[in-house]
């Protein structure tokens, strides 16, 4: 049955054009306020995992045969990846952009085609870095651009190994976007030691390694999220991964293998569920369930930390979904106490320090976090954004080099009554809206439209559980 007959009547471009001015994409006014509440109750499914959504689109696009994806996150970051892939010849369609399913007719042996215009990747570091590796193995040249935040983020960490493999790069400002990637059909394999623990850099190398001659080895100083390895395995490509005695991890891939299209079910994003979980813990009368969340141990560092802080969090109904572990997360209000977060746990909760800082502000005693230098180069300088936001809300905090100490109180609620700057950073925006549920006075965040990059229905879903988050 042809795609039209099957009901996939919209190409991605027409879907994006249709949605441009809809309430779905323009979900947020610039400022948003969050008011103190008694608690959250009920069950709510958060959108699909962002990291896995990017990878499903990329791998499905070059697989042999068809891939069907359900649960894809239709946030702006992932749509940037879909649009870039479409511009290079991928055939990606869906009857309903918000709810899916998505269908990809994989290119298989066919080559990517030359994009006619530059690829705009919005706010999305994962799109930019993974696609740099993805494009490197094909004889095409593509210009990557992004928003103000993405254009400030370092790309040298990806350029260096990919250039060693034989891709070429033209950059205007040091190692920042905009830049041009010139791929090659004769990539060399490498043995590369990552200077920082980064799943984005590892994945870019593995995506290029799939097309390189021979064995590519990536050594990571600490194990990072392994969704690329797991999904490649699920789609028939052999990737070998081993954590060594010294805690470093070696990942190996042999070039020339072909991915095979599959049905992929994407679990809910634990990084998005984190906002609901902390909101339930810090409000007095809460009891919520977040179903079907990814609980891959390389992503659950925050939950482990919250449990150590005394949080009543349980993973129920554990199961497997397309090679990834999944569970329903049950959270009840809890009296939290400050802890010291071990620095070797940082990679498994790299995106969760903004929301952990909110839990820490409501916990008794101080919470000490170290090894956070990577937070300086996320969507914003998160160390500064967290510290400034907490101080504005009346919470004492110290930034010491690459560390952060939050002095919490479970007895007196923080004052609040402030406006927090989000710096085009979705996780800063959502974290401080969660803080406003438990302060004395409401908390306002500016630039709340950035939330659409990863969690388009965030305020609607929070309000359905009992929050009061309103556009200003």
Which of the residues are catalytic? 351
Cβ proximity of 303 and 341 under 8 Å? no
Strands in 146-193 per DSSP E: 168-171, 179-182, 191-193
The neighbouring-strand residues paired with 329 are 290, 315
- Asked if 198 is part of the footprint of ligand S3P (rule: CB under 6 A), the reply reads yes
Count of CB atoms situated within 10 Å of the CB of 402: 16
Closest distance of CB 441 from ligand S3P, Å: 31
Residue nearest to ligand S3P (CB): 51
User: Do strands 365-369 and 340-341 pair parallel, antiparallel, or not at all (unpaired)?
Assistant: parallel
Burial environment of residue 125 by CB neighbours within 10 A (0 to 12, 13 to 18, 19 or more): buried
Q: Which is nearer to ligand S3P, 372 or 465 (CB)?
A: 372
Closest C-alpha among 294, 315, 318 to residue 304:
315
Q: How far apart are CA 436 and CA 445, in angstroms?
A: 10
> According to DSSP H, which parts of 210-263 are helical?
227-234
* 268-287 positions binding ligand S3P, by CB under 6 A: none
Closer Cβ to ligand S3P, 51 or 333, answer by number: 51
CB of 412 to ligand S3P, least distance (A): 33
Nearer to ligand S3P, 40 or 346 (CB): 346
- What track of x and - describes contact with ligand S3P for positions 387 through 406 (by CB under 6 A)? --------------------
Segment near ligand S3P (CB under 6 A); pick from 107-115, 199-207, 385-393, 397-405: 199-207
| Closest to 402 measured CA to CA, from 380, 416, 382 | 382
Minimum distance of ligand S3P from residue 377's CB (angstroms): 8
Which CB atom, from 199 or from 386, has the smaller least distance to ligand S3P?
A: 199
Rounded to an integer, what distance in angstroms lies between the CA atom of residue 191 and that of residue 251?
Answer: 10
Does the protein bind ligand S3P through residue 216 (CB under 6 A)?
no
Query: Which of these ranges, 136-144, 194-202, 207-215, 388-396, lies near ligand S3P under the rule CB under 6 A?
Result: 194-202
Using the minimum distance from each CB to ligand S3P, give the nearer residue, 51 or 367: 51
334 binds ligand S3P (CB under 6 A): no
Residue 200 engages ligand S3P in binding (rule: CB under 6 A): yes
Q: What is the phi/psi pair of residue 325, to 5°?
A: -75, 140
The gap between the terminal CA atoms of the chain, to the nearest Å, is 48
Which has the closest alpha carbon to 204: 296, 135, 146, 255? 135
Size of the site for ligand S3P (CB under 6 A): 10
Q: Between residues 37 and 208, which has the closer beta carbon with respect to ligand S3P?
A: 208
For ligand S3P, the binding residue among 12, 28, 40, 51 (CB under 6 A) is: 51
Residue 105: cis peptide before it, omega within 30 degrees of 0? no
Q: Which of residues 99-138 bind ligand S3P (CB under 6 A)?
A: 126
Q: How far is the CB of 153 from ligand S3P (least distance, A)?
A: 9
Among 351, 352, 425, 449, binds ligand S3P (CB under 6 A): 351
Q: Tell me the two tokens of residue 430.
A: 């959502």
Q: Which residues bind ligand S3P (CB under 6 A)?
A: 51, 126, 198-200, 203, 225, 350-351, 374
């Amino acid at each position: 049955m042809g795609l039209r007959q099957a009901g996939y009547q919209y190409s991605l471009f027409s879907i994006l054009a249709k949605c441009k001015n809809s309430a779905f994409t323009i979900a947020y006014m610039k400022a948003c306020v969050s008011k103190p509440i008694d608690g959250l109750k009920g069950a709510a499914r958060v959108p699909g995992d962002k990291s896995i959504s990017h990878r499903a689109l990329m791998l499905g696009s070059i697989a042999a045969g068809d891939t069907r994806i359900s649960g894809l996150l239709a946030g702006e970051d992932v749509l940037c990846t879909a649009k870039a892939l479409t511009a290079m010849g991928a055939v990606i369609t869906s009857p309903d952009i918000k709810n899916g399913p998505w269908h990809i007719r994989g290119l298989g042996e066919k080559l990517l085609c030359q994009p006619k215009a530059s690829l705009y990747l919005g706010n999305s570091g994962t799109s930019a870095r993974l696609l740099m590796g993805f494009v490197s193995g094909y004889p095409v040249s593509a210009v990557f651009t992004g928003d103000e935040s993405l254009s400030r983020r370092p790309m040298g960490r990806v350029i260096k190994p990919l250039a060693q493999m034989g891709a070429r790069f033209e950059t205007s400002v040091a190692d920042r976007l905009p830049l041009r990637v010139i791929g090659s059909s004769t990539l060399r394999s490498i043995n590369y030691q990552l200077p920082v623990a980064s799943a984005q850099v590892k994945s870019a190398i593995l995506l290029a390694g799939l097309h390189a001659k021979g064995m590519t080895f990536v050594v990571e100083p600490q194990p990072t999220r392994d969704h690329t390895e797991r999904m490649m395995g699920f789609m028939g490509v052999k990737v070998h991964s081993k954590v060594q005695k010294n805690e470093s991890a070696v990942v190996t891939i042999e070039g020339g293998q072909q991915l095979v299209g599959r049905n992929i079910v994407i679990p809910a994003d634990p990084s998005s569920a984190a906002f609901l979980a902390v909101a339930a813990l810090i409000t007095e009368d809460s009891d919520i369930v977040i179903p079907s969340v990814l609980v891959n141990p390389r992503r659950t560092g925050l939950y482990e930390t919250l449990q150590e802080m005394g949080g009543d969090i349980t993973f129920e109904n554990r199961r497997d979904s397309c090679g990834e572990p999944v569970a329903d997360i049950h959270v009840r209000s809890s009296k939290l106490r400050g802890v010291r977060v071990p620095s070797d746990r940082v990679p498994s909760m790299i995106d969760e320090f903004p929301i952990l800082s909110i839990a820490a502000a409501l916990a008794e005693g101080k919470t000490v976090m170290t090894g956070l230098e990577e937070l300086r180069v996320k969507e914003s300088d998160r160390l500064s954004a967290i510290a400034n936001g907490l101080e504005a809300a009346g919470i004492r905090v110290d930034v010491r080099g690459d560390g952060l100490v939050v002095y919490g109180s479970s007895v007196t609620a923080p004052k609040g009554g402030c406006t927090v700057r989000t710096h085009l950073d979705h996780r800063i925006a959502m974290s401080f809206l969660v803080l406003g549920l438990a302060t004395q006075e409401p908390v306002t965040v500016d630039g709340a439209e950035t939330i659409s990059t990863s969690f388009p229905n965030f305020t609607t879903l929070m309000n359905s559980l009992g929050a009061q988050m309103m556009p200003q």
